[in-house]
Amino acid sequence: MRALLQRVSRASVTVDGAVVGEIGTGLLVLICAMQGDTEAEADKLATKISKLRIFQDVAGKMNLSVKDVGGAALVVSQFTLGADLRGNRPGFSYAAAPEVAERLYSYFSARVAAEGIAVRNGIFGADMDVSLNNDGPVTIWMDTASL
């Protein structure tokens, strides 16, 4: 699985003019299931994200996790993270098939919640308007193939 994390002071997802998910302090997690991914990759990614120390402590050092600061996660499906960029028009055949991706997206969200983090979601497959205030800015790319 691939994820792009952004530490945020706030983030929201709007679909057809209605806010479907929003958080204050926490992480915007753009997530893509790749071909061959299973629950094992979702487990690994959820555990890593929940423990990743990218929030500032009282000394200003990135030493706290999203859980430590009482933050939430806004999880949004983003199949374009699986882009094949060999040509000038990206291909997306590296991303998992939609039915597999949706199942892993839901599973991943549940695993993050099981780590004690409040989770909000976008709508899988919808045309979403994602808004955020990146705090830092802090943006981190993750791929379970390299964890």
User: Do the beta carbons of residue 5 and residue 139 sit within 8 Å?
Assistant: yes
The verdict on whether 47 is a catalytic residue reads: no
6, 55, 79, 108: which one is catalytic?
Answer: 79
38, 80, 92, 139: which one is catalytic?
Answer: 80
Residues 18, 85: Cα–Cα separation, whole Å: 33
The verdict on whether 79 is a catalytic residue reads: yes
DSSP string of 10-43, one letter each residue: EEEEEETTEEEEEESSEEEEEEEPBTT--HHHHH
6, 25, 47, 78: which one is catalytic?
Answer: 78
User: Hey, is 62 helix, strand or coil?
Assistant: strand
The verdict on whether 80 is a catalytic residue reads: yes
User: Hey, is 146 helix, strand or coil?
Assistant: helix
Active-site residues, by number, are: 78-80
